[in-house]
Structure 1
């Protein structure tokens, strides 16, 4: 039987470990991985939970969308495309709004949607080999459903650079702009995460939940976006997938060539 795309476990102290488990494609997300994250949130929501630690199995944390999956969704109906975008948004937002602290441990590549995932986490620790990129525009797509979280994490000014260039940047730059909180050696990544978990467990759980909720309510960025605004982002995200630019971008990926873009008239 194929391995589950998402694994999760819960310690007797209420520390959940959620592991993205598609290492053969660098943990790129597809429909099954999205549903796996949602299932993990559903299951853990019924348990005595204190902290969630998010990890990626293998060399890379999360390489964004599986473009082969995106290309299979693209020809489907607008309603089916919107459903795929909504599920993706819900997976990130469920992580974002968990009433317990979330800690992401990042190694290797963290691209596209992966940057949105870590922006939705409370604490992010990166290995010194981590690389980041908000890649969607390279493939004729947009990062619509993670732009609010990214704006909260790194600010509009940095999003206007990195979401427009799609360039890669390293762990120290990610720390400088606020995408990650701490950079450690790859060998120390798990122990650094354990240290933060111990600090969180020393604090009162109800006070932690209220502090997180108040911080999000006080945000001037993405965390305060209302349901109608998010619904619009989902529509934009799914519609962009069905454009001629997206078709060209995905073809350029499959054919390992640069995209052939036309200037807007």
Structure 2
């Protein structure tokens, strides 16, 4: 397993690169990766000359959502322990969402579940032509509660009502059509396309960028502060669903590589 689940660096221009680094599990998130993102955001917040953050994933896939083995291990804990896990997950996405500088996500391969929330929290998203997306939580008897606001910002309620309910997979061109990503490029050109956007951002006034982002966030679903009562409710819903019989059956179906036995009285 990777020693450091999240890597970050900062160059002389003030461009930070944050890399999800669990390629052996397709960068699926667990407590280590969540805490790594939170730590990276905290350290970057201390950098006086930070101008842009680029988010990427090591390996073939950008981010495969939650590590379901870890989720299954979390489930038997108390309600309070499960809420703590959901709160940390929410804060990792929301800190990225409200960072007062531009953020650019570069997506290759799979981007599932929480990964779609992560990119919805970024300002500019570029996908490789091999990227594949899915809001997968319902497939495992879970909900995407804590990333629904960011998804609604990115693709609109109408598209969320389709893709978060079906859990279907869709490709990069469909992701661009619905607004989840801004551009689609050949995989070999992904880094260069990201670099071009970064150069464009660096040519703009830092204070003007921060104010423009703040004003945009003020009118968005995802602009609510993370101590807002509405978000507290989402955290509670997210954690409580994890401990239901339906989630137990969904996670069992994942582990056993079979369809969920919904509506049979066995869940």
- Range into which the TM-score falls when normalised by the shorter chain: over 0.9
Structure 2: distance between partners of 1:144 and 1:39: 23
Cα offset for 1:2?
A: 4.5
* TM-score scaled by length of structure 1: 0.97
* Aligned CA-pair RMSD: 1.2
Question: Structure 1 runs of 4+ off > 3 angstroms?
Answer: none
Cα offset for 1:3?
A: 1.9
Cα offset for 1:218?
A: 2.0
Structure 1 residue 135 corresponds to structure 2 residue 136: yes
Structure 1 residue 210 corresponds to structure 2 residue 232: no
Equivalent residue, structure 1, for 2:31: 31
Which aligned pairs between 1:115-134 and structure 2 lie closer than 5 A? 115-134=116-135
> CA offsets, 1:205-247, max 9 Å, x none?
010000000001122x333477100000000000000000000
Equivalent residue, structure 2, for 1:52: 53
Structure 2: distance between partners of 1:156 and 1:79: 30
Q: Note if contact 2:116-2:133 (Cα within 8 Å) is conserved in structure 1.
A: yes
Structure 1: distance between partners of 2:244 and 2:263: 13
Unpaired runs of at least 5, structure 1: none
Unpaired runs of at least 5, structure 2: none
Structure 1: distance between partners of 2:26 and 2:83: 25
Equivalent residue, structure 2, for 1:85: 86
Equivalent residue, structure 2, for 1:22: 22
Q: Note if contact 2:97-2:222 (Cα within 8 Å) is conserved in structure 1.
A: no
Q: Classify the secondary structure of the residue corresponding to 1:212.
A: helix
Structure 2: distance between partners of 1:45 and 1:146: 22
Cα offset for 1:13?
A: 0.7
Equivalent residue, structure 2, for 1:76: 77
Equivalent residue, structure 1, for 2:192: 191
Q: Classify the secondary structure of the residue corresponding to 2:27.
A: coil
Cα offset for 1:63?
A: 0.1
Structure 2: distance between partners of 1:222 and 1:96: 7
